Amino acid sequence: MFRERRVSHGELGLGGKIVVYALLFAGLLLFAFPLFWMITTSLKELGDVHKLPMKWIPSPVEWSNYTQVFRDAPLARYIVNTVIYTAVTMFAVALSSSLVAFGFARLKARGRNVLFLLVLSTMMIPPQVTMIPQYLLFNKFNWIDSYLPLVVPAFGGSAFIIFLLRQFYLGFSKELDDAVKIDGGGYFTMYVRIILPLSIPSLATAAILEFMYRWNDLIGPLIYLSDGSKYPLSLGLSNFTAAYAATPWNLLMAASIVAVLPPLLLFFFAQKYFIQGIVITGSKG
């Protein structure tokens, strides 16, 4: 007599399911297409790149494009520079932000809340405001054309990541701290023994966010680096076509694949920590 009542707003009938699948698959074509096109173009001969009608699948498959980009530009050098730069800054930001976040989350002191507001308010000032005096300062230090201006500030932590980690650290039980206190441990023991092990997933998330940001950053290296042998991938890639008369799109796409591959790989291997926390465990069904 009564029609069966649909409970949750997330439940779909058969028709609804078909519509959702159709939309998702159609959208996926759109979302996957740019990357697909990047890959196929990177494997074409230059003559086939502009051929009409378009060639969807490259034939012959020019794997040599990839070796050629490494010959034409010091791509290997750029990769080494970028890996060292992102690894050091990632480590620096994660470590220092975590220490600071521990202070703000777990230790009481006069003026703490005012200071924390100051941390948050620094996020509102566009980086362009501090960019110019920082450049002048590093110019005085004779640090221009080195990685120091890009790396050293990372040891001060990042306001965004301090905020993120503090939210996590507030969630851990206070009794854990008391247990350390009873055992006669100090605050550093508390941090190393309790907070650090518990916060590995949140630290990993913070580290990956920092990695993505540093890997893709163009404006920082552009300001501070002029010696081509010190270029990271972002800057090297942006000058990649300078040596050619016309843009070799197949080579440019091959070099671009080389540039996006590490973040993509990192994302796939670290997904468990990265979006799972927000996206996958959040859904209870």
Partner 1 sequence: MNSAVSARTQARSAGKKKRNSELAREERAFWLFISPWTLGFLLFTGGPIIASLFLSFADYNVVDAPTFVGLRNFFDLFHDKLFYKSLSVTFYYAVLSVPFTIVCSMILALLLNNKIKGQAIFRTLYYTPSIISGVAVSFLWMWLLNPDFGVVNSLLSDWFGIKGPGWFTKPNTVIPSMVLMQLTAIGGPMVIFLASLQSLPSDLYEAASIDGANRLTKFFKITVPLISSVILFNAIIGIISSFQVFTQAYVITKGGPDWNSYFYVLYLFNTAFAQFRMGYASAQAWILFIVIFVLTMLALLVSKRLIYYEYDDKR
Report the residue count for the chain.
285
Q: Closer to partner 1 by CB, 204 or 275: give it.
A: 275
Contacting residue, 61, 76, 80, 107, with partner 1 by CB under 8 A: 107
Q: How many residues bind partner 1 (CB under 8 A)?
A: 101
For position 194 contacting partner 1 by CB under 8 A, the verdict is no
For position 130 contacting partner 1 by CB under 8 A, the verdict is yes
Contacting residue, 80, 87, 115, 120, with partner 1 by CB under 8 A: 115
For position 100 contacting partner 1 by CB under 8 A, the verdict is yes
For position 143 contacting partner 1 by CB under 8 A, the verdict is no
Residue 89: strand, helix, or coil: helix
Q: Which residues contact 278 (CB under 8 A, 6 or more apart)?
A: none
For position 223 contacting partner 1 by CB under 8 A, the verdict is yes
Residue 172: strand, helix, or coil: coil
Contacting residue, 75, 162, 206, 207, with partner 1 by CB under 8 A: 162
Do residues 74 and 228 make contact, with C-beta atoms less than 8 angstroms apart? yes
For position 244 contacting partner 1 by CB under 8 A, the verdict is no
For position 225 contacting partner 1 by CB under 8 A, the verdict is no
For position 102 contacting partner 1 by CB under 8 A, the verdict is yes
Give the separation between CA 249 and CA 30, rounded to whole angstroms: 21
Give the separation between CA 268 and CA 274, rounded to whole angstroms: 9
Q: Which residues contact 27 (CB under 8 A, 6 or more apart)?
A: none
